[in-house]
Chain A
Amino acid sequence: MKNFRRELAVFVRTVIGRAYPRLIGLQRERSWLFFEIFLPLLGTSAFVFIYRALGAKPEFTGFVVLGGAMTAYWMNVLWSMATQFYWEKETGNLALYLIAPTSRMAILLGMALGGMISTTVRALAVLVLGSLFFGVTFTVSDWGSLLLVFFLTLVALYGLGMIFASAFLLYGREAWHMANLLQEPVFLLSGFYFPIKSLGFWISAGASLIPITLGLDAMRQLLYPQAGWGFLDVWVETLILAILSVVFLVIAHRMLLWLENVARREGRLTVRGQ
């Protein structure tokens, strides 16, 4: 019991310790905050203007602004979760993580927690500024469901990020290219800038493995109940997101243990400039 308590305390302290730099980084380098809001806003604006050039209905502007805000999470998962161990390896920190008397899962959870909170600030800024610039109004039909869907989307999404982080432990330069490859195809498959239903049932069903697909679709249904672009019922999407959250966290835990062993055996943990 005493041992368990001590281990739990170390686990919690590790989570807080790893989340801390992500949060404190927000105010240490404020110009980054500007760029991280400004860049997604540029892309979002371009997509809004495409819809305006095509004469699309006003709700499409709202779809794009919401999608633009959610890109912040996907980019955070890719570049600050999935590739994080690769960066740590390159800067020589990974070995220090591994010899620290703590759980690797706690390090990943801390990264995820810090990333979630700091990214929420950016996503909110994109959402608010995008809505102000383009006159978007959202009508929330059910706040409880909206918050639940948003929370489950983040848990499942960062669970997926933890799986990627474990997988990318083995990679050298491929990690960077793989993360790069997971940008446009995922923006397409997850329907960041258009309703996912338009891709047809089977593609949308396959894309639902990426939590942001169902999360975005459910949030759009809750914000634009009259639009009629929903893929599945909100409660079904919520249930799938809850299942994905649990499954991804379990897989991430298993993969981390397994791939760390593989990386140790193959001597990949300290290889730099690969």
Chain B
Amino acid sequence: MTTQALRKETWRESLRSLKVAIWLGWQIESNWTDPFLFAAYSLIKPIAGAMILVVMYLVVSGGQTNNPLFPYIYLGNAFYIYVGSVLMGISYAVIDDREHYGVLKYIYVSPIQVYFYLLGRGVARTLTGTIAVIITLAFGALVFKLPINLITMDHALFWPVFLIGLAGLALIGILLAGVTLITARHNYFMGEAVAGALYLLCGAVFPLDVLPKFLQYIGLGLPMTYWLEGLRRAMLGTSASPLLAPFSNETILLILISSTLFVGAISLSFYRWCERHAKEKGLIDMQTMY
């Protein structure tokens, strides 16, 4: 086989892996129950999550929703659903396949590109996450009259920021999948710990300005901070964070692209290292019973 033909075959295999993993991931996410219960589950969970913040806000504001912080909190929380979904989706796929179903070793011996397989599992969680985000946003627009206009919003800013941010999340997810491959008893906590830390540090539900100074610096170094800021600016037209206000939209996008590329480079090489290490130590079919 020539090099070009080999490359073509690898691409075909990667695409097939991605497609099959998306299908498999979607089945795992959705076929545990009947469509009605799945719809209720998809509806209740995100709305309850958003309502916690709404009630907190309303208790303090005395029922007013005209403070710019309200849409800031609501939108940040809505889009943050993706962070949990993608990070946990990709890293949890390793635990699920290795520990729960015991099939990771079979995946490794089948003609599949594992990297794309994991990304595919992440895409499936992104799909369920998208349902939750749409429901949360629609609920906010209808019930709380959030100032969102899907026609007049800044699409030129929204779509690049949205897609690059999702790609960045997937890359962090792959990084966590690498950690999961080589750890035994901490893997359940990895995704949750990273998602929890990002929730606090990237200004998801409050402006970074209220954090202590040293935490603000950490927040400014995270791609997700610029992702959420870009999405808010695209949908609301303003920024409620004095700390990020001096950055222009172009700067936000540029920082997001460069930080995503940086994370991508680390993620890919780290995952390869973890994979090699896991194979050397015989961890691919590890059963920790945790």
Given contacts A49-B200, A273-B101, contact A39 B45 (CB under 8 A): no
Which A189-225 residues have a C-beta within 8 angstroms of B? 192-195, 198-199
Please report the C-alpha to C-alpha distance between residue A180 and residue B196 in the assembled complex, in whole angstroms: 16
Query: B-facing mask of A216-258, CB < 8 A → 1, else 0?
Result: 0000000000000000000000000000000000000000000
CB neighbours (8 Å) of A184 from chain B are: 45-46, 48-49, 52
Given contacts A50-B53, A54-B60, contact A172 B32 (CB under 8 A): yes
CB neighbours (8 Å) of A49 from chain B are: 200, 206, 210-211
A117 on the interface (CB 8 Å rule)? no
B73 on the interface (CB 8 Å rule)? yes
- The interface on chain B, measured as residues whose beta carbon lies within 8 A of the other chain's beta carbons, has a size of 39
CB neighbours (8 Å) of A52 from chain B are: 206, 210
CB neighbours (8 Å) of B192 from chain A are: 39
Other A-B pairs, 13, CB within 8 Å; known A42-B199, A180-B45, A185-B45: A35-B193, A42-B193, A46-B200, A50-B205, A51-B56, A56-B59, A90-B100, A172-B32, A181-B45, A184-B45, A194-B56, A194-B59, A273-B101
B41 on the interface (CB 8 Å rule)? yes
In the complex the two chains form, is A39's CB within 8 Å of B193's CB?
Answer: yes
- The interface on chain A, measured as residues whose beta carbon lies within 8 A of the other chain's beta carbons, has a size of 40
In the complex the two chains form, is B186's CB within 8 Å of A31's CB?
Answer: yes
B71 on the interface (CB 8 Å rule)? no
CB neighbours (8 Å) of A53 from chain B are: 69, 206-207, 210
Given contacts A29-B185, A39-B189, A91-B289, contact A50 B206 (CB under 8 A): yes
CB neighbours (8 Å) of A39 from chain B are: 189, 192-193, 196
CB neighbours (8 Å) of B45 from chain A are: 180-181, 183-185
A6 on the interface (CB 8 Å rule)? no
In the complex the two chains form, is B58's CB within 8 Å of A198's CB?
Answer: yes
Q: Determine which residue in A52, A188, A273 has the highest number of CB atoms from chain B within 10 A of its CB, and name it.
A: A188
Which B27-63 residues have a C-beta within 8 angstroms of A? 32-33, 41, 44-46, 48-49, 51-53, 55-61
Sorted nearest first, the 5 A-B pairs with minimum C-beta distance are A42-B196, A53-B206, A184-B48, A185-B48, A35-B189
Please report the C-alpha to C-alpha distance between residue A54 and residue B289 in the assembled complex, in whole angstroms: 45
CB neighbours (8 Å) of A193 from chain B are: 52, 56
In the complex the two chains form, is A46's CB within 8 Å of B205's CB?
Answer: yes
Closest CB-CB distance, A131 to chain B, in whole Å?
17
In the complex the two chains form, is A51's CB within 8 Å of B60's CB?
Answer: yes
A173 on the interface (CB 8 Å rule)? yes
CB neighbours (8 Å) of B100 from chain A are: 90, 273
Which of A43, A90, A173, A177 has a CB less than 8 Å from the CB of B196? A43
Query: A-facing mask of B185-210, CB < 8 A → 1, else 0?
Result: 11001001100110110001111001
Closest CB-CB distance, B136 to chain A, in whole Å?
11
Which A32-61 residues have a C-beta within 8 angstroms of B? 32, 35, 38-39, 42-43, 45-47, 49-56, 60
In the complex the two chains form, is B205's CB within 8 Å of A187's CB?
Answer: no
Query: A-facing mask of B136-148, CB < 8 A → 1, else 0?
Result: 0000000000000
Please report the C-alpha to C-alpha distance between residue A109 and residue B81 in the assembled complex, in whole angstroms: 36
In the complex the two chains form, is B193's CB within 8 Å of A38's CB?
Answer: yes
Query: A-facing mask of B93-122, CB < 8 A → 1, else 0?
Result: 000000011000000000000000000000
A7 on the interface (CB 8 Å rule)? no
In the complex the two chains form, is B60's CB within 8 Å of A56's CB?
Answer: yes
Specify the chain A residue showing the minimal Cβ separation from B287. A91
Specify the chain A residue showing the minimal Cβ separation from B197. A42
Please report the C-alpha to C-alpha distance between residue A47 and residue B57 in the assembled complex, in whole angstroms: 11
Specify the chain A residue showing the minimal Cβ separation from B58. A198
Closest CB-CB distance, A80 to chain B, in whole Å?
13
Specify the chain B residue showing the minimal Cβ separation from A171. B32
In the complex the two chains form, is A194's CB within 8 Å of B193's CB?
Answer: no
Which of B59, B67, B186 has a CB less than 8 Å from the CB of A198? B59
Which of B48, B51, B61, B206 has a CB less than 8 Å from the CB of A46? B206
CB neighbours (8 Å) of A45 from chain B are: 200
Please report the C-alpha to C-alpha distance between residue A181 and residue B44 in the assembled complex, in whole angstroms: 8
Closest CB-CB distance, A88 to chain B, in whole Å?
11
CB neighbours (8 Å) of A90 from chain B are: 100
Closest CB-CB distance, B10 to chain A, in whole Å?
32
Please report the C-alpha to C-alpha distance between residue A218 and residue B133 in the assembled complex, in whole angstroms: 35
